[in-house]
């Protein structure tokens, strides 16, 4: 009968026990999460956290949460190996900067579409309902608008009314 990829009679050591050069016990806390065929997985976790700390963390968790914890530790350890100073926080920061840049590009594209639409439908821009004195969408919905500064230019994008203003003439 197999249990976590290990035979009961002849126990092959898990990746953790192989790296630590110790006998892998039947109740080894590492065995279910660090199989022998994935030695790099434990090596990076051991390098960053240490075997003793990983053992403590796993033993303090209920069994149903251990697998997720190991996945998180492996991710963080690999990120720390790639970037020893920031780890996964550096990756998150980089992704956040990409999101900000893409949101700015999207806002610029949306503003350009609105501008082009306004040029195609001059009758809507001259209507009395759209003048700033009568409460145009750009002054009415300032709370739902977003200001972005891009290349030193401030621009206002009315996100609440973007869909309406893009396609109605």
All residues at 6 or more sequence positions from 14 whose CB lies less than 8 Å from its CB, including other chains: 6, 24, 28, 30, 31, 34, 35, 36, 42
| 129: pLDDT strictly greater than 80 | no
HSE, side-chain direction, 13 A CA sphere, residue 17: 18
Backbone angles phi, psi at 153, to 5 degrees: -105, 130
- pLDDT band of 11, cuts 50, 70, 90: low
CA distances from 126 to 82, 131, 169 (A): 58, 8, 12
Q: Is 149 helix (H, G, I), strand (E, B) or coil?
A: strand
Q: First-to-last CA distance in the chain?
A: 72
- pLDDT band of 10, cuts 50, 70, 90: very low
- pLDDT band of 3, cuts 50, 70, 90: very low
| 153: pLDDT strictly greater than 70 | no
Do residues 136 and 161 make contact, with C-beta atoms less than 8 angstroms apart? no
Do residues 55 and 44 make contact, with C-beta atoms less than 8 angstroms apart? no
- 113-146 b/e with 16+ CB inside 10 Å = b? ebeebeeeeeeeeeeeeeeeeeebbeeeeeeebe
| 21: pLDDT strictly greater than 60 | yes
| 154: pLDDT strictly greater than 80 | no
Vertex 19: Cα angle to 13 and 23 (nearest 5) = 40
Phi-psi region of 148 (alpha: psi -120 to 50; beta: other; left: phi over 0): beta
């Amino acid at each position: 009968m197999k249990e976590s990829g290990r035979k009961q009679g002849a126990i092959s050591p898990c990746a953790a026990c192989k790296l630590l050069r110790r006998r892998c016990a039947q109740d080894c806390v590492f065995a279910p999460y660090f199989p022998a065929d994935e030695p790099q997985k434990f090596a990076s976790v051991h390098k960053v956290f240490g075997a003793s700390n990983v053992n403590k963390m796993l033993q303090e968790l209920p069994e149903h949460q251990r697998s997720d914890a190991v996945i998180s530790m492996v991710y963080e350890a690999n990120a720390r190996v790639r970037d020893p100073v920031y780890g996964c926080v550096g990756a998150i920061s980089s992704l956040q900067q990409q999101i900000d840049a893409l949101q700015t590009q999207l806002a610029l594209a949306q503003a350009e579409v609105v501008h082009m639409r306004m040029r195609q439908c001059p009758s809507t821009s001259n209507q009395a309902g759209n003048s700033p004195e009568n409460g145009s969408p750009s002054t009415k919905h300032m709370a739902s608008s977003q200001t972005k500064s891009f290349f030193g230019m401030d621009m206002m994008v009315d996100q609440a009314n973007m869909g309406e203003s893009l396609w109605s003439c």
